């Protein structure tokens, strides 16, 4: 009866009803958290109202009742993110886990009968066996989010191990497509009938994708629906493994702990690295290496007791042992820089941090995600592997201090778009940022002219700005369909409004699927623009 009562109440009203202003200046927000599909109430969900970036509002929190109902009273006017969390459930759109719904509250306003829909998470189960059908306990199994347009899967699930029967269970998965990867323990090495001791006469378990392939491109993704439990049994493949013998030309040879690691160059396999100690004469021997393309990396401990990581080229292992490979160390780089922010009289450098993002989306081992800016505006990266990197600036606080990067220069040369290329040595970087960001605000409507709440509005940069991940911006529309996009870099943008927020908008094909009703705007520093958008759905073509 409770469910029928809630459903009747919802059918009798709109999803969002805006009450009359009360005599108090404070506001009131109430509504329901329901399961989608089905409409069953979700009790004990954590409901939070968080002041949006730069608003400085107080945060509010409550739990849903038996009918999924919630009420938050005495809310100060302002703009908020409504975020709901519950174990076993996720928002219908992945991005809402962090961004939530946008609510704009004016003094004394009451927002009631809000409906927040959440999807139950899915489960993938299965069994892992060897080629004889025997269970393989202790095998690591991963669920990898699958994007057909991406160069590789993005994000591994938490590691799960098979039990004594070789069974596994991966829970709390968002609906979507997944590749399943099983990596067996080394103790299940299979020795050839001939009993030869050479590596090429042995077989070793290979990391195996469902339904049974070593090649990721041949793997079949599972399509997991809300609340669904699906299964994927994997029979571990095995094959020959090989030795790699060679030497390293390195100034650090002879240091304590000097070793060589072969890391899968594509970064796809979450397996341990193949490592070997380097002898005083620079030679090394690696055994039981799987076929593949590897990046060779050197690790050592310097005189200060710090671990240093440097690159030494690539190694290809195909169908035979690799002999006499000659590797030369490319020393790690050091980046020392200074940040200067324009347009702010009371600039506090320690509120920001700097990141280096590889331009080719690789993830070199050893590079820190970000370093803080010191009081004098300086920052420093050490042990930076060879590569090309985009330097970006972010705020330490979630209450974001808006700014954009105007220029990045190395020794006076502007590298803002192409990035800094490191090949050993020290690189002095100067970053100039500005708080005079352009802004876009406007409204999203449906084809029949009604406001479109909860729309995802994406600003996609054009030209050279597409090389910089920090040039993209995403916003959500509020209950009136209104949105604001802040923190933009001056330049030209294509603005898209869609409900399909989980798509990869950095994919070049994205704009081909959303081409009707886009708005193109050119923004100068500090400029504000107001636009109107139509809600779009992906084109079949």
Instruction: Tell me the pLDDT tens digit for each residue of 410-458.
Output: 988 999 988 999 888 899 999 999 989 999 999 999 988 899 988 889 9
According to DSSP, the residues that pair with 432 across neighbouring strands are: 340, 407
Helices (H) and strands (E) in the chain, counts: 3, 44
Residue extent(s) of CATH 2.60.40.3540 domains in the chain: 243-328
- Between 152 and 409, the more confident residue is 409
Taking residues 229-238, report their average pLDDT.
95
- Which residues, in sequence order, are CB contacts of 100 under 8 Å at separation 6+? 48, 50, 81, 82, 83, 84, 91, 476
Q: What is the pLDDT of residue 149?
A: 53
Give Dmax over CA atoms of the chain in angstroms. Answer: 89
For domain 333-434, give the fold: Immunoglobulin-like (2.60.40)
Taking residues 381-407, report their average pLDDT.
81
Lowest mean pLDDT segment, chosen from 251-260, 379-388, 419-428? 251-260
- The closest of 483, 429, 474 to 452, measured between CA atoms, is 483
Pairing status of strand 60-63 against strand 89-91: unpaired
Instruction: Tell me the pLDDT tens digit for each residue of 319-329.
Output: 899 999 999 88
Taking residues 369-378, report their average pLDDT.
89
Q: Are 483 and 520 in contact (CB under 8 A)?
A: no
pLDDT at 191 over 50: no
pLDDT at 4 over 80: no
CA-based angle 426:428:432, to the nearest 5? 155
- Which residues, in sequence order, are CB contacts of 539 under 8 Å at separation 6+? 512, 513, 514, 515, 516
And the tokens for 58? 């107080």
Output the CA torsion sign for 266, 267, 268, 270.
positive
Pairing status of strand 229-231 against strand 122-129: parallel
Q: Are 268 and 153 in contact (CB under 8 A)?
A: yes
Instruction: Tell me the pLDDT tens digit for each residue of 45-70.
Output: 999 998 875 555 578 999 999 999 99
Distances (CA, A) of 343 to 238, 372, 407: 61, 21, 15
Q: Are 347 and 381 in contact (CB under 8 A)?
A: no
Does the domain at 2-119 match CATH 3.30.70.260? Answer given as no
Long-range contacts of 93-96, Cβ-Cβ distance < 8 Å, separation of 24 or more: 93/456, 93/499, 93/501, 93/502, 94/174, 94/176, 94/501, 94/502, 95/456, 95/474, 95/501, 95/502, 96/501
Output the CA torsion sign for 236, 242, 248, 253.
positive
Q: Kindly report the backbone phi and psi dihedral angles of residue 350, in degrees, each rounded to the nearest multiple of 5, phi listed first.
A: -70, -10
- The closest of 451, 440, 445, 443 to 473, measured between CA atoms, is 440
Q: Tell me the C-alpha distance between 455 and 496, whole Å.
A: 10
Residue extent(s) of CATH 2.60.40.1120 domains in the chain: 122-240, 333-434, 439-534
* Residue pointed to by tokens 């049994």: 233
According to DSSP, the residues that pair with 457 across neighbouring strands are: 475, 497
- Between 103 and 153, the more confident residue is 103
Distances (CA, A) of 114 to 35, 75, 108, 312: 14, 15, 17, 58
* Chain Cα centroid distance, residue 174: 14
Distances (CA, A) of 323 to 133, 263, 295, 515: 36, 18, 17, 54
Q: Are 143 and 178 in contact (CB under 8 A)?
A: yes
Residue by residue, DSSP assigns 118-137 as: EEEPEEEEEEEE-TTS-B-T
- Which residues, in sequence order, are CB contacts of 182 under 8 Å at separation 6+? 128, 139, 140, 141, 142, 207, 208, 209, 210, 234, 236
Q: Which CATH superfamily is domain 243-328 in?
A: Domain of unknown function DUF4458 (2.60.40.3540)
Q: Tell me the C-alpha distance between 81 and 484, whole Å.
A: 13
* Residue pointed to by tokens 């969390």: 85
Could you tell me the pTM of the whole model?
Answer: 0.72
Q: What is the pLDDT of residue 345?
A: 62
CA-based angle 339:342:345, to the nearest 5? 110
Instruction: Tell me the pLDDT tens digit for each residue of 21-42.
Output: 444 689 999 999 999 888 999 9
Does the domain at 439-534 match CATH 3.30.470.20? Answer given as no
Q: Are 420 and 429 in contact (CB under 8 A)?
A: yes
Provide Rg for the chain, Cα atoms.
27
Taking residues 82-94, report their average pLDDT.
85
Taking residues 285-306, report their average pLDDT.
83
Q: What is the pLDDT of residue 515?
A: 74
Strand locations in 281-321 (E): 283-289, 292-301, 307-317
Residue by residue, DSSP assigns 382-418 as: EEEPSEEEEEEEEESSSS----EEEEEEETTEE-TTT
For domain 122-240, give the fold: Immunoglobulin-like (2.60.40)
Instruction: Tell me the pLDDT tens digit for each residue of 110-169.
Output: 999 889 999 999 999 999 999 899 999 999 999 988 876 544 445 556 679 999 999 999
And the tokens for 35? 């399961």
Q: Are 422 and 389 in contact (CB under 8 A)?
A: yes
DSSP 8-state assignment for residue 362:
-
And the tokens for 369? 């995600």
């Amino acid at each position: 009866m409770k469910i029928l009562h809630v459903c009747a109440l919802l059918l009798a009203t709109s999803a969002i009803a805006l009450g009359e202003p009360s005599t108090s200046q404070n506001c009131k927000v109430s509504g329901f958290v329901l399961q989608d599909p089905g409409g069953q109430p979700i009790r004990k969900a954590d409901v939070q109202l968080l002041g949006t970036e730069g608003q400085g509002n107080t945060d509010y929190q409550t739990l849903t009742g038996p009918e999924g109902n919630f009420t938050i009273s005495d809310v100060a006017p302002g703009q908020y993110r409504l975020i709901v969390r519950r174990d076993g459930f996720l928002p219908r759109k992945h991005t809402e886990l962090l961004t939530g719904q946008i609510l704009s509250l004016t003094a004394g306003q009451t927002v009631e009968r809000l409906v927040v829909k959440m999807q139950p998470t899915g489960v993938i189960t299965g069994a892992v066996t060897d080629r004889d059908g025997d269970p393989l306990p202790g095998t690591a199994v991963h669920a990898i989010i699958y994007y057909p347009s991406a160069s590789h899967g993005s994000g591994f699930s938490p590691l799960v191990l098979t039990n004594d029967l070789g069974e596994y269970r991966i829970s709390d998965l968002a609906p979507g497509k997944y590749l399943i990867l099983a990596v067996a323990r080394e103790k299940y090495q299979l020795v050839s009938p001939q009993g030869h001791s050479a590596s090429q006469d042995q077989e070793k378990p290979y990391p195996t994708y469902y339904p049974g392939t070593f090649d990721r491109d041949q793997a079949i993704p599972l399509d997991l629906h809300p609340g669904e439990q699906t299964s994927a049994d994997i029979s571990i493949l095995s094959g020959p493994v090989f030795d790699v013998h060679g030497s390293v030309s390195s100034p650090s040879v002879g240091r304590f702990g000097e070793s060589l690691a072969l890391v899968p160059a594509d970064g796809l396999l979450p397996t341990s690295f193949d490592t070997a100690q380097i002898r005083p004469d620079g030679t090394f021997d690696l055994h039981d290496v799987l076929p593949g393309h590897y990046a060779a990396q050197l690790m050592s401990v310097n005189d200060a007791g710090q671990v240093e990581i440097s690159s030494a080229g690539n190694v290809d292992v195909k169908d035979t042992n690799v002999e006499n490979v000659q590797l030369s160390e490319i020393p790690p780089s050091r980046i020392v820089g200074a940040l200067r922010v324009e347009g702010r009289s009371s600039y506090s450098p320690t509120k920001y941090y700097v990141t280096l993002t590889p331009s080719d989306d690789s993830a070199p081992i050893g590079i820190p995600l970000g370093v803080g800016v010191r009081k004098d505006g300086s920052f420093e990266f050490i042990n930076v592997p060879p590569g090309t990197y985009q330097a970006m600036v972010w705020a330490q606080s979630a209450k974001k201090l808006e700014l954009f990067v105007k220029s990045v220069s190395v020794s006076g040369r502007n590298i803002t778009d192409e990035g800094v290329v490191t090949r050993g040595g020290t690189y002095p970087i100067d970053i100039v940022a500005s708080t005079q960001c352009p802004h876009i605000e406007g409204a999203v409507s449906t084809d029949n002219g009604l406001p479109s709440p909860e729309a995802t509005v994406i600003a996609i940069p054009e030209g050279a700005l597409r090389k910089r991940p920090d040039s993209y911006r995403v916003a959500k529309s509020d209950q009136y369909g209104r949105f604001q996009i802040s923190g933009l870099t001056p330049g030209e943008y294509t603005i898209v409004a869609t409900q399909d927020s989980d798509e990869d908008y950095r994919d070049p094909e994205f704009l081909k699927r959303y081409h009707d009703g886009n708005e193109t705007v050119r923004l100068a520093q500090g400029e504000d623009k107001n636009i109107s958008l139509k809600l779009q759905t992906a084109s079949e073509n």
